[in-house]
Chain A
Amino acid sequence: MLKDITFGQYYDATSVVHKCDPRVKILLMIAFIVLIFVSQNMFSLAFACVSVIFVLLISRVPIKLFLKNLKAIWVVLAFTAVINLFYSNTGKVLVSFWIVEITTGGVYRAVFMALRIILLIFISSVLTYTTTPNSLTDGIESLLSPLKYIGLKNAVHIFAMMMTIALRFIPTLIEEAEKIMNAQKARGADLENGSLVERVKALIPILIPLLISSVRRAYELAEAMECRCYNGGVGKTRMKQLTLSVSDLYAIIFIAVFTCGIIGLNIIF
């Protein structure tokens, strides 16, 4: 059951999107999200749709993986759509009962909002599918590095180190949790039956050993890091330098076109 947890769902392939610098990808994703919200009419949103689909296609990640992500949030999607359905009373009345009436304006709005959310999910999935957790961390560290000029000298490094270690230990801890669960099951623990409260209570004998062993691990890891001359990142260099390539230039040109398109269509219509 714990094996289903996927984290940093990287999909290995060779594409222009995969080759992009993580910093550029993070910035572009932020730009995309902002612009999707900026688009105000059907024309600019349609343009955004086309652009997002274009990005999905050139990323060479199977479309069904993106659709899988939608499945996880369909409740949110349906909820937003239904709420927006009643939100507007412009246009022709389609259905009317008791005090509610559904208008064409409402339907338009519901579709519009749902589409926006779908685009958001798609574009952020592109980032996680095409970037390894490690380069994502590197990208974040590099983007946050200006913070060191405002007195947060070590904070950026510590944050990146924490993320690296967390990513490294997720599979290890999942494995450990599974071992403990099996050990407790062998001792007669019942994790699957009973009421919700009972099942939550049954988790306590799993969480406590897991916590204790994590603390022990942390202690050993700290010693091992010390043995490898770690001193809080002072004077540290990096083996892999982040460098901008041609792919990044394409990405920047693309986002420039996209920005002009959205704003232009917003003004024209």
Chain B
Amino acid sequence: MDNIIEIKNVTYEYTEDEATHIAVKNLSLNIERGSFTVILGHNGSGKSTLAKMLNGLNKPTLGTILVDGINTLAEETEIEVKRRVGMVFQNPDNQLIASIVEEDVAFGPENLGLPPKEIRQRVDSALKAVGMEEFVSSTPHRLSGGQKQRIAIAGIIAMEPECLVLDEPTAMLDPKGRREIVDTLHKLNKEKGITVILITHYMEEAENADRVLVMNDGEIISDGKPHEVFQNVEMLKSVGLDVPQTTELLYALQKNGFKVNTNVISVTDTAREIKKVLEGV
């Protein structure tokens, strides 16, 4: 198995008001190249801290993180790590630097010192990849939240990273914008083979992931395929997460003696499952 990110016994501590808090506790994790991983957790579960450690913004207090074999602690390879692991944050407004879309997307490649022609190419293909090519010379200010966030993603993709880490990219968006982002990420994952690590507290977004991790108090408490993780309704509720409504419904039916298959998530599959039971009865 080829891992893009290897996390070995990592602990992250920070000091606030003279008290030491542990945000991430002795965590070990490998992320497979080309996979789509979703990390779930409520606020303060350590998921954002973990995300920022993946590209070296935060340095682990203990343990090591290897990105494509490069240690994130080494100062001289900092840029190498950042160009491999791109990061998108919650608020699109605070990530866009220029007042023209194409100039903003060009910011990353310009910093990498690429020749103008190649930057142009990368900007165009990145905008195309997120479906924003018609907005090349617009002002980000006039776009919707979902569109702005797609521009932010394009700005990262233009650096051609191996891996894309997104820290709650949909938290400030409306349902339509959220859908746009999640679809874009799946498309990038499939078509460009970019490894995606999506951090969120919306369970629906984990639906089509290859792997779901649940974090609580700086530890990973569940790890598996989406339907495997979601079956654990009690555990998820105990850490303050909501299970998808479909899973909850099937789970309740099963509890009451109906023989339904609880490892489906989408609405259509759930409907089919219920229909099967109804027809059987």
Contacts and interface: CB of A to CB of B under 8 A. Distances in A.
A230 to B, nearest CB: 5
Contacts of B116: 237-241
A160 B82 CA distance: 24
A95 B142 CA distance: 58
A241 B110 CA distance: 12
18 contacts: A132-B100, A168-B96, A168-B97, A168-B99, A171-B141, A220-B91, A220-B94, A226-B57, A227-B156, A228-B97, A228-B108, A228-B159, A230-B107, A231-B79, A238-B119, A239-B102, A239-B103, A241-B116
Contacts, number: 94
Contacts of A152: none
Contacts of A124: none
Nearest to A132: B100
A242 B164 CA distance: 33
A229 B99 contact: no
B5 interface: no
Interface of B: 52, 55, 57, 79, 82-83, 86-87, 89, 91, 93-100, 102-103, 106-116, 119-120, 123, 139-141, 152, 155-156, 159
Nearest to B123: A239
Contacts of B87: 224, 227
A223 interface: yes
B119 A227 contact: no
Nearest to A166: B99
B140 to A, nearest CB: 8
A16 to B, nearest CB: 21
Contacts of B139: 171
Contact of B119 (A225, A228, A235, A237): A237
A236 B97 CA distance: 15
Contacts of A132: 100
Nearest to A225: B97
A213 to B, nearest CB: 10
A223 B56 CA distance: 11
B79 A229 contact: yes
B153 to A, nearest CB: 12
B201 to A, nearest CB: 19
A239 B106 contact: yes
Nearest to A138: B103
Contacts of A247: none
B249 to A, nearest CB: 38
A229 B111 contact: yes
